[in-house]
Chain A
Amino acid sequence: MKLKIEAIVTLTPGIRKFTLAPVDGAPLPRAGAGSHLVLEIPGSGRVWKNAYSITSATEAAVYEIIVRRVEKSRGGSAWLHDHAKVGDVLEVQPPQNLFAPQRLAKRHLLLSAGIGITPFLSYLKLPCLAYELHHCCKPEDEAAFRALFPSGPQVTLHTSRNTLNLEMLLKRQKLDTHLSICGPESFMDVVLATAAHCGWPSTKMHKESFGGATGGESFVVHLHRSGVMVNVGREESLLDAMEAAGLTPSSLCRGGACGECKLPVLDGVPAHHDHYLSEAERAANNAIMICVSRAKTPELVLDF
């Protein structure tokens, strides 16, 4: 669907909020809390497809997203920061939800860092969610983030590691609480490891993972049935590279979580960065999630 940029607000030098509205006035598809949009962003010679959490409430008439300008940007966020203007029209895929709040949890412990706050902003707008949110950010961003939250004891902002005692926080949660986290991989890894150490089962830990691995060594992929060879550059994903070459592999979340883009590996060794394949499948190395995974060998042959 086509959406126009109705407003742009700079929250910090590297973080901008965009309001997207329907071009033709027709009502937007409803997006439940935790949903994301995939924007098709024009780049030089190619289109970038980036996923962003919807931060606005489900019943809003517009969508709001918040975009951080990624330092080693592949292009999408750089364009949104440097070139996007009010009135621009973008092609946007309808909302998908891979990170809905856990319906059976009576309480939600939400932990986020930096731009990872975005999926939780839609959670906080739900009328009846019982939650405790701890958000970590840089001191210079504190005021901007604080303005995004409702006031109250259920939200705590941390600008230094010292004020967030993860182990104590995780240990004191009741059994009816689920943990949801979003932020840089290193942050999420620490939280998950600490929770596991405290006895949390993985089934009660939920992470938003689109955005995944951003790059690595370049490699070549041979698409066996298409008879096409594609170079995958250091800053692009295998999926991006195939799309840039005019191919149309199936994909959905673009974050290694949903399983849609799985392709069989006929030769070469994949480097798995996804959250979907089982241990056994990872070890067998005969499948790859092309949206986030790469290659250990210089070349891969895929059944596509």
Chain B
Amino acid sequence: MKLSMKPQETFRDDYTFSNSDEAILRFPFPFPDDNYMYSVNMEPHVRGGASPVYNAVFDIDEHYIGDMADRAITLEHDPLRCQVLPHMEEAEWDTLELIMENLANDYPEHFSLTKNGDEWHWINRPLDIDQKFVFGRAETLPYGPFEYITRQTQGDFSLQDQRDNNLFMDGGMVTSQADWSLNFDVGMSFHEWHGPVPLAHESGVFDRALQYLLRLQYGKPVRRLNWTMTANPRLDTSPENYPLWGPEKATITPDNVGHRMCLRVELQSLYRLPRSNAILFSIRGYLVRLEELALVKKWAIRMHRVMRDLHPKIVEYKGQSRYRQHVVDYLAPHDDGRVLNPGVAAEQDSI
């Protein structure tokens, strides 16, 4: 696939992040209806579908270089953003294989993988990496296999061990999370790490989701979308650094909300891993500034209605209480009351 990447971009401090017109139009807008409530909403992760981000197995976009540079900074300051419990080594290699094979297959102009038995040769042109190693021997790589490959893939990842009819988050690379701590959550079961989410437990959403995932089959990955909002296009919105980014939320004003406030959508996809029988969970985040989003008329109107009518408990859990009204007020002028088509399609070809 043809893809050109921005050579540099920041997701902290001066926040030079911005989306090209192409990136705006391919944004995975998450609202098919005028109101929003939690649901299991999983579908097969097959090529194509409602958004162009589904065209590759692991989607790489124009922000790749800046994204990975930001991850490297976060890991420099806090290496415990990547942890794998000792019994998950086989799952690490499963992950490396899955990602390398798919990146090389989907983006041959940027990545290539050649194998000679166990001797693998991996080339990552955008990050200027040329690595020969022995598959299965961790000492031949500069990092553990999971850390090695996730330092080169957009999005956060968790590794889930399946045992006792349950899933346990026994590893992860988490540098762009929506306010949860890997160090705190590592080792937790499915219901435990979802503990803080309001409303969903009562309706049995997590019970059903767990049963569905326990039967996830190799070669048949699934996906769903989740969303939140971020003041400034910041990737590291971790609890650890909340004292850094928390104050930014309170600086949102009607004048800057269009530029600073971002819709953050997670494309979550889940893969059964063949050797370890574990599950790889990819949490691929996409950011768009409200003023960029508003260039797509349908999305501006729909988002206005969703935010205006959002359930108060969801507003609170997603940490949006402080600025929600600014967002609603910013989008309101776009909403002329027209009936919108259901579905997430942008319904326009250019900005």
**CB within 8 Å of B: which residues of A?**
29-32, 34, 58, 94-97, 100, 102-104, 203, 252, 258-260
* B2 interface residue per 8 A CB criterion: no
Q: Which residue of B lies closest to A30 (CB)?
A: B274
Shortest distance in angstroms between B271's beta carbon and chain A's nearest beta carbon?
13
Complex: A249 Cα to B215 Cα, angstroms: 16
Question: Could you jot down 6 A-B contacts, CB within 8 Å?
Answer: A31-B274, A32-B90, A94-B219, A95-B218, A103-B161, A103-B276
A103-B87, A103-B161 known; A258 vs B274 contact (CB < 8 Å): no
Q: Which residue of A lies closest to B87 (CB)?
A: A103
Q: Which residue of A32, A95, A96, A203 contacts B276 across the interface (Cβ within 8 Å)?
A: A32
Is A30 touching B217 in the complex (CB atoms < 8 A)? no
Is B211 touching A96 in the complex (CB atoms < 8 A)? no
Is A104 touching B218 in the complex (CB atoms < 8 A)? no
Residues in B with CB closer than 8 Å to A96 are 217-218
* B13 interface residue per 8 A CB criterion: no
Complex: A34 Cα to B276 Cα, angstroms: 10
Is B215 touching A29 in the complex (CB atoms < 8 A)? no
Residues in B with CB closer than 8 Å to A104 are 87, 163
Shortest distance in angstroms between B101's beta carbon and chain A's nearest beta carbon?
10
Complex: A259 Cα to B90 Cα, angstroms: 27
* B320 interface residue per 8 A CB criterion: no
Q: Which residue of B lies closest to A34 (CB)?
A: B277
Residues in A with CB closer than 8 Å to B77 are none
Is B163 touching A97 in the complex (CB atoms < 8 A)? no
Is A258 touching B276 in the complex (CB atoms < 8 A)? no
Q: Which residue of A31, A58, A102 contacts B163 across the interface (Cβ within 8 Å)?
A: A102
Is B164 touching A32 in the complex (CB atoms < 8 A)? no
- C-beta contact mask, B81-121 vs A, less than 8 Å → 1, else 0? 00000011010001000000000000000000000000000
Residues in B with CB closer than 8 Å to A97 are 277
Complex: A111 Cα to B277 Cα, angstroms: 22
3 smallest beta-carbon distances between A and B, as pairs:
A30-B274, A100-B277, A32-B275
Residues in A with CB closer than 8 Å to B162 are 100
Is B215 touching A258 in the complex (CB atoms < 8 A)? yes
Taking A30-B275, A104-B163, A260-B215 as given, write out 11 further A-B residue pairs in contact, using a Cβ cutoff of 8 Å, ordered by the A residue number. Answer: A30-B274, A32-B274, A32-B275, A96-B218, A100-B162, A100-B276, A100-B277, A103-B87, A103-B88, A103-B163, A252-B215
Interface hub of A30, A32, A252 (most chain B Cβ within 10 A): A32
Complex: A111 Cα to B276 Cα, angstroms: 22
Residues in B with CB closer than 8 Å to A258 are 214-215
Residues in B with CB closer than 8 Å to A31 are 274
Interface hub of B90, B214, B277 (most chain A Cβ within 10 A): B277
Complex: A31 Cα to B217 Cα, angstroms: 12
Residues in A with CB closer than 8 Å to B275 are 30, 32, 58
Residues in B with CB closer than 8 Å to A32 are 90, 274-277
Complex: A217 Cα to B161 Cα, angstroms: 41
Is A29 touching B218 in the complex (CB atoms < 8 A)? yes
Residues in A with CB closer than 8 Å to B215 are 252, 258-260
Residues in A with CB closer than 8 Å to B87 are 103-104
Shortest distance in angstroms between B42's beta carbon and chain A's nearest beta carbon?
16
Residues in B with CB closer than 8 Å to A94 are 217-219
